[in-house]
Structure 1
Amino acid sequence: MQQLKDIALPDEFGFFGKYGGQFIPPHLKQAMDEINAAYEEIRTTPEFQQELAELFKYYVGRPSPLFFAKRLSEQLGGAQIYLKREDLNHTGAHKINHCLGEALLAKYMGKTKVIAETGAGQHGVALATACALVGIPCEIHMGQVDIEKEHPNVVKMKILGAKLVSVTRGTATLKDAVDSAFEEYLKDPEHYIYAIGSVVGPHPFPKMVRDFQTIIGNEIKQQSLEQFQKLPDYVVACVGGGSNAIGAFTAFLHDEAVKLVGVEPAGLGLETDKHSATLTLGKPSQIHGMACYVLEDEQGNPLPVHSIASGLDYPGVGPQHSFLKDIGRVTYSTATDQECLDAFMRLSRVEGIIPALESSHAVAWALREAPNLSVDTKIVVNLSGRGDKDADYVANKLGL
């Protein structure tokens, strides 16, 4: 394996190996470079660090707990499963971690509007929340399919004062919402900022969103040492764009004894065309201003993708994940829609925790693999969000 300690992630041009960068028009490159310069200028200042730290503590409620799923572990036999409870954050997911950072950056840069896409609605709710907090108008683009599927989050965004734009083009899901939001941003990149919702898009967003999310892995490391006196044997997270996963993984990249596992959506099966397993079945290409693994057709167009989890149905993936796959530092696995549903219900009924469908993919991996591992093995699953938004959908699907 390539020695990560000798590699800048990313380099000065925003590349993680051959992935990342800025594959965008010159006028947009200028806007991205200005965002990068502003971010680098304020990220280490005591004032910014203190404001963000206080918001994490008193507004978000960090640190989020590391919970031992004792009954679940006993039922499965084998490895001990711990849950990093990002679902307990204010707004119900990990998304608030980078949304606060992006909103503070927009305020610092004097932007007049924050624009974003959302799939499951968690990024949209978190950004609308952060924008309300700092007093900046917010516009969220969301696929019509996801609007119908994630009604509770749609209502929350409206209550928080965000303008919601329904996207009906294409598959009317996350990829199309990204396209729509980018188009709106391009109308006035001088005064608008596009607050990307994951570790995707042109530089500096894969770096910037990762940096704000690294608090997850830093807390896992400290909490693991406190609670079971060693580092975890596995850290597991779902991967769509990949922000919760890179947030959980970054603190452990140099700890080679810690196995890192990203779980992609296998949807209705990898043998079908109804999945979003980008790293598993995709190939290196470009999408949304970055080089990364992409699911695309023979003409180079992004494929329509599917996942039961609206936040994971994206044909690209973060460039750092693409790099970590190639060098073998992270193992990328999959879970089907059915495995996800089973995990959703089992965690709910065994531990009294209703997980987001996105997070349920990572839980599904733990359910599948824990019985095959020794009882002294510690698995930490990043429970990236709670399932309030999915409860009605799941109940209807299962006839509850």
Structure 2
Amino acid sequence: MAYKKLSDLTTRGQNWNIQVKVIRMWDSVNPTTDELISLDMILMDEQGETIHATIWKNLIDTFRSKINEKSIYAFSNFKVVESTKYRPVSNEIKIFFTYNTKVKEIKGSSEVFPEYCFEFATMDTLEERAEKDTQCSDVIGLLTQMKPVETRITKRNPQPSYIREIEILMPEGDKIKITLLGKFAYFLTEDVIGSQTVLIITSMMVQRFSGLCLKSTSATRIYIDLDIPETQELLDRNSAEETLPKMGSIDRSNQGTLEEHMFYRRRTLEELTTMRHGNQSDQDGKSEEAPKIIQQLCGKRLIFRFKLNDNNLTFGTQNYAVKRTFVPDDRLEMLYLDNKAEEELMDDEVDTVLMKKQNMPDRKSQNNNV
């Protein structure tokens, strides 16, 4: 049977026959509902060309048992369509399996195909892909920082989600932050701290949040110190002392339940306005009509989470960035006030005991005086 090259495929027709190696496989899952969407693969032919293939949810049971990662197959009677979103490889077309798709395993020719396939992105490429959902990105770099796993709860997803933030040093010398979600948050352990570690992380989306950053997807795969030339080049280029990974700290304001968020670092307005240094800038006395979104809040009783910046703390500027609002819960408010009063009472008791100890004469000095 004559097989077509992947570069010969087009979106016209369905009678294609290809011989390919399954480089990677993964379940695509809805991150909000954890619902299975599809079974996906990256396929490679003998010429090194790659393509993304998808098996929709209703056909997964038909094909999953017939296909294994790293094996070679002849596929026929599939559909070729344009690939418009979340491409794990830089191919503008992709393959859809149908009810009529034929699968035949090919034995004995695995040495023709490479073991791995990556498309490492540079910093310039990541800049071009920022906030776009067309192309996923692979990166390689030395791990420089890793934070503990965090638990977060959002309004969109009330179920606890697990994340770990890391930082890598890319081959060009740029550092970039990466957020690992779900099961990937636990892929790295603290054993990597203190030793040079080269990470390869695939199929991530590029975002802008306090600078350029990356986020894992269902298609992500993580490799540690993989034995490929790029790994050794990174190690040879960077000294061990300067690139040893360190453990970072997490932002506690994002931890726990929504109720716990409301009381984290609770401050009064008076306390906020005094959290500033000297050199308060002069105010010009001008005022503007409140924006519509502010007018809608007027008359409501809310809890605000503020973000203090250098202008607040250094120059005394009293314009505050609101990161989030909460609707107060009277029961939780009373519990918070009771706990706060109890803590203040305990502090007063400790202060009283310390003062008594300071005022008590030393017995040894009294005996000497006698």
Asked if Structure 1 and Structure 2 have the same fold, meaning a TM-score greater than 0.5 normalized by the shorter chain, the answer is no
Interval of TM-score (by shorter of Structure 1 and Structure 2):
under 0.3
Higher helix proportion: 1
> How does the TM-score come out when normalised to structure 2?
0.23
Name the larger-Rg structure.
2
> How does the TM-score come out when normalised to structure 1?
0.22
